[in-house]
Structure 1
Amino acid sequence: MDGTDEAGVGTDGRLRRAMTAVRRERRRTADELEAFRAFEDRVRAIDAETTTARGGSTVSVAAVRSQPTSGLRRVRQAYETTVMSVPHYVEEYDDTYVESLQGEFSPDIASALTDGTNFNERCRQATLSAASEAQSSRELLVGALDSERESLQEVTEELRPVIEEVADLAARSYAEESFGSLDAYRARLHVLEEHCDDVAAGRQASLFEQRRARWLPSSAPDIACYVYQAEAFDYPVMSTVAELTERIRTVRATVERAMARCRP
């Protein structure tokens, strides 16, 4: 570990925690995607029901207020053993069956599946459509998380040598250096700061592209706020770059003070 890790700047600090968060969210999203696929498959295997009155006439669904039919019970069992059985369900959601249906599908579908009516064809198709939409949103999220992971990897590779060089420069004593050497150090620190600016600009562009994808819920403005909401930071790259830039400026000020005391 380098000396900057204690301050949360090094590649084993904030950026590493961010990468762990991305991988965790990606794994959970993939688990949910597979769960909704399995749920859809099970629902397709459940036949639609009709309610028949005496004499063979079909009774409207609204007229039936009995216990859940076999079809509705099978749907619930399918949902609970797939969607509600992902490893992280209790930790992240801990919803009831009805609450989960309302959040994942819609209040109307939740009502149709839990109000005691039968599992008719209209309800069956609506459930299948909602399950398909849930899969599509998670497929988009998996892609966005893969992009975020790649972005973090690239940034970490770009910043690692800068972090190490700045740590080395910060540990130096400049009292006995010549004016020419000090001027060279100052120039190098300017180059390192410009590199940080380039990394920040690239990251901003990446976040802008992610916003354009519009796959996130309206409450989350971008991938960073969505993935890192449980962390002490929202924007790990930008905060790391800002802290590193401040450190560069501090070292440069030290070099410039030495230059002021040194004769050319």
Structure 2
Amino acid sequence: MSERIDAALDAVADERVSIAAERDALMAFDRRVADLSTVTVSVGPSLVADQRQSDRSLERVREVYAETVMSVPHYEEEYGDTLAESLAAEFGDDLAAALLNGAALTPTVRNAVRAAAVSARDEREEFLDVLDREAASLDAAASDVAAVRSAIPGGDGSPRRRFDDLRRAWSDLRDLEARIDGIARRRQETIRGHRSDLPGVPADLSEYLYADLPTPYPVLATLATVGERVAERRQRVERALASTA
């Protein structure tokens, strides 16, 4: 298997661990918020709930959020943002403002928080599906590349070889070039498909996942290297054919 594709598979596996942890944290956050008591506030002259209970209710939501969503192992390295920034990124500015500056955790606010948490969790689930498809695409490409490499004909294109053998080697090499083109087209279709699978996925998933690798397109780079090897071998065979004509 190509070292480039191996590194890409490792990157996908690492990302999957992180996204799964975020999904689980959001599920835990939702469960804990569901257990929190809500506060009903009168809009009239009197306050039905005790003011201290009102103040504490939103504080508990913020604490639960920090203890779950912001406590995944990779959080500081990956995000490193504040509570306010994180709430806004996950739940939107309006709900973040309600949790940071609101009067109390009313039933309406709690329902909105839980709905936002479920939506964020679902986005992670969908992203995990995309990552699984990406890993499957990498595995398939690795197998295809290995098959092409093993099928590259031996020999150095020496003029001493029989014309029929050279002709057969040339035909085999042309077939391999066509196979490489086909593998590349399928890979490009997969890359384009990621962009439409999930609106929340970065515009270019490869650049997002493989930013720390030598190339953001490890399969295409590997195919280019193998293709150069096949083309070089074909050109040598062509020279040998020309010398025997």
TM over 0.5: yes
* Partner-residue secondary structure (3-state), 1:48: coil
* Partner-residue secondary structure (3-state), 1:82: helix
Relative to 1, partners in 2 of residues 1:129 and 1:24: Cα closer, same or farther, differing over 3 Å? Answer: same
2:213 is aligned to: 231
1:185 aligns with 2:175: no
How do residues 59-208 of structure 1 correspond to structure 2 at under 5 angstroms?
69-115=55-101, 117-166=103-152, 169=154, 172-175=155-158, 176-208=160-192
2:236 is aligned to: 254
Relative to 1, partners in 2 of residues 1:54 and 1:133: Cα closer, same or farther, differing over 3 Å? Answer: closer
Alignment RMSD (CA, Å): 2.6
Relative to 1, partners in 2 of residues 1:184 and 1:40: Cα closer, same or farther, differing over 3 Å? Answer: same
Stretches (4+) displaced over 6 A: 52-55
- Unmatched 5+ stretches in structure 2: none
Displacement of 1:55: 7.2
> Contact between 2:22 and 2:124, CA under 8 Å: does it hold in 1?
yes
Displacement of 1:227: 2.1
Letter in 1 for 2:101: D
Q: Whole-Å Cα distance in 2 between the matches of residues 184 and 57 of structure 1?
A: 91
1:20 aligns with 2:10: yes
Which deviations, in whole Å up to 9, do the C-alpha atoms of 1:147-190 show, x marking residues without a partner? 11111111111111212444x74xx4333433332222211111
* Partner-residue secondary structure (3-state), 2:211: coil
The correspondence for 2:40, drawn from 31, 34, 50, is 50
Relative to 1, partners in 2 of residues 1:100 and 1:68: Cα closer, same or farther, differing over 3 Å? Answer: farther
Identity %: 34
* Partner-residue secondary structure (3-state), 2:233: helix
Relative to 1, partners in 2 of residues 1:69 and 1:257: Cα closer, same or farther, differing over 3 Å? Answer: same
> Contact between 2:4 and 2:218, CA under 8 Å: does it hold in 1?
yes
More helix by share: 2
> Contact between 1:68 and 1:116, CA under 8 Å: does it hold in 2?
no
Which deviations, in whole Å up to 9, do the C-alpha atoms of 1:83-130 show, x marking residues without a partner? 111111111111111111111111112111112632222221211111
2:199 is aligned to: 215
